[in-house]
Amino acid sequence: MNGEWSGVDEHYIQCLMEDSDYKTAQKELEKFIINGQATDKMNSYLKPLYIRLTDSDKGYADYHHKQEEMTETKLLSDLIKEQVNAPAPDFTLPDLNGKEISLAALKGKVVVLDFWATWCPPCKASFPGMLKVVDDFKNNRNVVFLFVNTLENTYANPHAEKQYKQVSDFMTKHHYSLQVLIDRPKMDDSTQYQVMSEYHVEAIPTKVVIDPEGYIRFKEVGFYNTPIEIKEISLMVKMAAR
């Protein structure tokens, strides 16, 4: 969400509450929540508004659950429109231990590719949210998350042989235990990377969700870190598994 507009929306709800127009505040807040536009601060208003209007918190749990269901229904409707159905190019890339990982060997599983680089602020901002998604599926052996480090040498490090250390040091520093793959430049000192090019990734971070049959179902640019964005990625994974 655009930070400037989210601040305006927060102020709008605050003004309605200060004017004691609780019914309108609740109605407008529900719209923001269902459309995935509510900030954490806006979400914090929901229960106080409910209590103001009902003089009790009785029934709030059911009310809140209904809001979550409506939000998920709206998300599903939007995601259905965003689905793609294109063959996922096969690839083989090394992980940080030098082990070669191929997409073909993962057929039958949902595979989530997250293209990123250590110099990329939005990529780094997305890690906390992606860690939550990874944790949600940690017991599901049919879902695999691969964090494809790409464009690393182009901006941060001109020597390809140092890419492993650059990325490994980053993961160690932040205590991230994620499966990282190292995308290779097409040529020495090239600004074009193999898998990034094959998947037509034009900006990072980009998430690609591949279904068990080896077809790309979703391709999204941008970082995901808010509760609604984390839920969106989780839903993409669940939809790809069907």
39-96 pLDDT per residue, tens: 778 889 999 999 999 999 999 999 988 988 888 888 888 888 889 999 999 999 999 9
Contact 111, 146 (CB under 8 A): yes
pLDDT at 113 over 50: yes
Q: How big is the chain by its Cα radius of gyration, in Å?
A: 21
Q: How far is CA 2 from CA 5, 7, 38, 203, in A?
A: 6, 9, 11, 18
Two tokens, residue 47? 């229960």
Alpha helices in the chain (DSSP H): 3-18, 22-34, 40-43, 46-54, 60-82, 121-136, 152-155, 163-173, 194-198, 227-241
Contact 52, 29 (CB under 8 A): no
Residue whose entry in the numeric block shows the structure tokens 């040529």: 187
Task: Report all structural domains of the chain as residue ranges with CATH numbers, in order of start.
Answer: 3-82 (no CATH), 86-241 (3.40.30.10)
Note the pLDDT tens digit of each residue in 22-43.
999 999 998 888 887 787 788 8
Is pTM beyond 0.85? Reply is: no
